[in-house]
Amino acid sequence: MRVLITAGPTYEPIDPVRFIGNHSTGKMGYALAEAFAESGAQVTLISGPTTLPDPANSQIRTTRVETGAQMYGAAAAAAPEADVWVFAAAVADYRPREVAPNKIKKAGDTLTLELVRNVDIAATLGQTKRPEQFSVGFALETNDEEAHARGKLQRKNFDLIVLNSLRDPGAGFRHDTNKVTLLDAAGQMTIFELKPKAAVAHDIVRTVLARLSLRDA
Ligand code: CTP
């Protein structure tokens, strides 16, 4: 089995020394890469900038990217051959319209940056998904969690979505733990306890493998 995973944040450059980014650490995506590799899969891990080392497991091939556009390019190249797609990256939704060639000097009391939409990697690849391929997305929400997650599941053609609520202590960014709820396209919902991200990754892998074996049956 081949698995494609996006992980970490993206950095969208403003000028040669500044960028727009976010607090994603990549830990959940890297834990998923390890868990899929342990289950025997060949993993392509496409990672935004993180402080994590490339996984040592020889079944994981890591590609480093910076921007959403680069992440899309790498993911689009690997997607057709992958049986499972996991979109764990926190891709910046917008990027500066122009990247200043030189460091922007301060002038005046305010500065306005014009931002343009970044490609939605999961949604764009979702349109190319073949019936035998399986796509997993993430949703990090603060309110109306289930409704937002179900909307994303449909819009991005996911088979399964991993919902994190920032209302749950210990879930989401900057933690070594996570508390997730899995929702599938058939409406089934499974709520998991707060646990280390490595254990959450194994729960997700087990669920994906179970769904794939049901399809084969
Ligand atoms: N995603 C992606 N490319 C993007 C934005 C999001 O692949 N440009 C993926 C994420 O990796 C995640 C899922 O889409 O699996 C949901 O991401 P999220 O940021 O919660 O969704 P958005 O569509 O950006 O919705 P929101 O309006 O909440 O920002």
The domain ranges of the chain are: 2-98+113-216
Question: Mean of the pLDDT values across residues 72-79?
Answer: 98
Is 22 among the catalytic positions? yes
pLDDT at 217 over 90: no
For residue 53 the two structure tokens come to 């080392």
Percent of the chain with pLDDT over 90: 91
Confidence band, pLDDT 50/70/90 cuts, at residue 94: very high
pLDDT at 172 over 80: no
Q: Which residues of 79-91 are buried (b: 16+ CB within 10 A; e: fewer)?
A: beebbbbbbbbbb
pLDDT of residue 25: 94
CA distance 14 to 9: 16
CA distance 184 to 150: 8
Report which protein residue has its CA nearest ligand 1's atom 18: 139
Q: Are strands 42-47 and 18-20 parallel, antiparallel or unpaired?
A: unpaired
121 touches ligand 1 (CB under 6 Å)? yes
CA distance 104 to 197: 39
Nearest to 76 by CA among 29, 117, 124, 36: 124
**What are the pLDDT digits (tens) for 185-202?**
999 999 999 999 999 999
pLDDT of residue 30: 98
pLDDT at 165 over 90: no
Question: Mean of the pLDDT values across residues 205-214?
Answer: 95
pLDDT of residue 23: 92
Looking from the CA of residue 118, the nearest atom of ligand 1 is: 8
Question: What's the whole-model pTM score?
Answer: 0.96
CA 156 to ligand 1 center in whole angstroms? 9
Confidence band, pLDDT 50/70/90 cuts, at residue 216: confident
Which strand (E) or helix (H) includes residue 123?
helix 121-126
Looking from the CA of residue 136, the nearest atom of ligand 1 is: 15
pLDDT of residue 22: 95
pLDDT of residue 86: 98
pLDDT at 77 over 80: yes
CA 90 to ligand 1 center in whole angstroms? 7
pLDDT at 174 over 90: no
Helices (H) and strands (E) in the chain, counts: 5, 14
For residue 26 the two structure tokens come to 């990549």
8 A C-beta contact, residue 46 and residue 4: yes
122 touches ligand 1 (CB under 6 Å)? yes
CATH level 3 topology of 2-98+113-216:
Rossmann fold (3.40.50)
8 A C-beta contact, residue 43 and residue 5: yes
> ∠ CA 38-172-122 to the nearest 5 degrees?
70
8 A C-beta contact, residue 122 and residue 29: no
Looking from the CA of residue 140, the nearest atom of ligand 1 is: 20
Distance between start and end Cα atoms, the chain: 17
**What are the pLDDT digits (tens) for 16-73?**
999 999 999 999 999 999 999 999 999 999 999 999 999 999 999 999 999 999 999 9
86 touches ligand 1 (CB under 6 Å)? no
